[in-house]
A = this chain, B = another copy of it.
């Protein structure tokens, strides 16, 4: 049942040669055809040289993941050609750089270095060849190619145009067949996960974004810095992560909706402050975009090794909300929902995602009419009330009031009484513990009315997954005959046991990207689900859907 209408384009070369740009332009080209795409960028932790590639899979149906079997591969150097040899699909075309690689029987070579030498930035310009080859191979009009390049390569557009046309012409002459890409009906946008979650937060009323660069979360900071004036979210890049987190907590006191972001190492530095947010009841949303760990790990690759880490942040006991989106689109809605939740419950939240979702781009349509979320309003104190910051209430939630105000508003990192003054009194200590625990119980009630678990498809087999791996699983299922239901817990803390317990006696397969099977453990421990098979991958690379499909078939028969 292979889904043959997926076309995959791959472009590889050195960092600094515009490889990712070529991938983005390709996605745009497909979008012009009304086709859906998924683009994954593989790059190393270096600025120039090495080996980068971008891979875009496109179809007239929704594509959830890139494929590693490519119909056209454009290699800007010999290293790429060698690496990607194994990725060429049957009947696919291998394009290579004749100045770096020897001439071969198969595939098509052009002397790219020689051709690029004429231009002012011979390295940087090479990437546009990738898009020219694609245009020629898919029978695109030269005019359309020119339009595309004008749109995508605004810097140095003249030279890019000229170089692209040269390559286009050569390729057009030399190939014996072109591939016809069916037109689709998509009229939507292409976003990366980080762009999507940022826009969602902005739509949800974000006032400030505070960040310190760390791959793969840096692009959130860059995004808000670039859109400071139109989105009106104040971007701040302070001296380190501890400053980031504490500035965020401070900003909530006058009522700013604030989000921060980092990867594992940076979030670890914020841990003391996450606990501070729990105690002071400061609503801060922390984005944690994972890469392979531990420690510095493999900075530009992907992994889901931080699940237990995220779920257990902070010393002491306080409500913590952790959720992870299973698609680029969900990232948009979830960041808004998480903002609402941390404000309603005045407690920290972690938006967990991974490099694969953060930095991959997908075609998607967004409808900005949020579903009715009246339940998620922030409780505000009345003007005239006798204000108590930590008033004990039935649901554990105290009303907020923001300065400037004539009321005394004291937030406190020490254990405190209702007014916010420090206490060591045994009974008050106990009561405040109860208050925070009751808040968590109310939160669980709320979650029970919300969508906390996604389910896709129907079938006897049950496949559990979470975060970006959901993408790989959904795409993989297009390539097997398996009838399966995919279950993706969106909320990971509080864990939606009420939705999942019914899978206790089912034969369950878990797919995740880490080495110890953290989701499987969670399912076992929280819901008594005993997974039959746990498919893990932990080499930093996302699953390829077709290989995953084989593994799923192996696990299910």
Contacts and interface: CB of A to CB of B under 8 A. Distances in A.
Interface of A: 44-45, 242, 263-269, 271-272, 274-276, 278-280, 290, 292-301, 303, 305-306, 308-309, 311-312, 314-318, 413-415, 423-424, 426-427, 429-430, 433-434, 436-437, 514-516, 518, 524-526, 538-541
A307 to B, nearest CB: 10
Contact of A295 (B45, B275, B311): B275
Given A45-B424, A298-B414, A525-B525, A293 B316 contact: yes
A276 B295 CA distance: 5
A297 B415 contact: yes
B268 A272 contact: yes
A442 to B, nearest CB: 15
- Residue of A305, A311, A312, A433 contacting most chain B CB atoms (<10 Å): A433
Contacts of A308: 312
Contacts of A292: 316, 415, 429
Contact of A297 (B242, B309, B312, B316): B316
Contact of A265 (B272, B280, B430): B272
A237 to B, nearest CB: 19
A246 to B, nearest CB: 12
Nearest to A309: B315
Contacts of A279: 293-297
A44 B424 contact: yes
Contact of A278 (B295, B312, B414): B295
A88 B290 CA distance: 57
A294 B279 CA distance: 6
Contacts of A309: 312, 314-316
Contacts of A264: 275, 315-316
A354 to B, nearest CB: 12
Closest 3 CB pairs of A and B: A293-B316, A264-B315, A294-B316
A260 to B, nearest CB: 16
A163 B379 CA distance: 60
Given A264-B316, A279-B294, A280-B295, A540 B272 contact: no
Contact of A298 (B429, B437, B516): B429
A311 B316 CA distance: 13
B275 A293 contact: yes
A301 B424 contact: yes
A437 B294 contact: no
A423 B305 CA distance: 18
Nearest to A240: B242
B275 A272 contact: no
Contacts of A293: 275, 279, 314-318
Contacts of A294: 275-276, 278-279, 314-318
- Residue of A296, A316, A437, A516 contacting most chain B CB atoms (<10 Å): A316
A170 to B, nearest CB: 34
A541 B272 contact: no
A524 to B, nearest CB: 8
B415 A298 contact: yes
Contacts of A414: 295-299
13 contacts: A264-B315, A268-B315, A271-B271, A275-B295, A278-B295, A279-B297, A293-B315, A294-B317, A295-B316, A297-B415, A298-B429, A301-B429, A306-B315
Contacts of A312: 308-309, 311-312
A387 to B, nearest CB: 22
Nearest to A415: B298
A317 B514 contact: yes
Given A268-B314, A271-B271, A297-B316, A541 B426 contact: yes
A306 B317 CA distance: 8
A436 B242 CA distance: 29
A538 B434 CA distance: 9
Contacts of A424: 44-45, 298, 300-301, 540
Contacts of A275: 264-265, 268, 293-295
Contact of A306 (B301, B316, B516): B316
B516 A317 contact: yes
B538 A430 contact: yes
Nearest to A44: B424
B269 A269 contact: yes
Nearest to A46: B424
Contacts of A314: 268, 293-294, 309
B272 A413 contact: no
Given A303-B316, A434-B515, 13 more contacts: A267-B315, A268-B272, A268-B315, A275-B294, A279-B297, A293-B318, A294-B316, A294-B318, A296-B413, A298-B429, A305-B317, A426-B540, A433-B515
Contacts of A278: 294-295
A104 to B, nearest CB: 25
Contacts of A298: 414-415, 423-424, 429
- Residue of A315, A317, A413 contacting most chain B CB atoms (<10 Å): A315
Contacts of A540: 415, 424, 426, 429
A538 B267 contact: no
Contacts of A44: 424
A424 B42 CA distance: 11
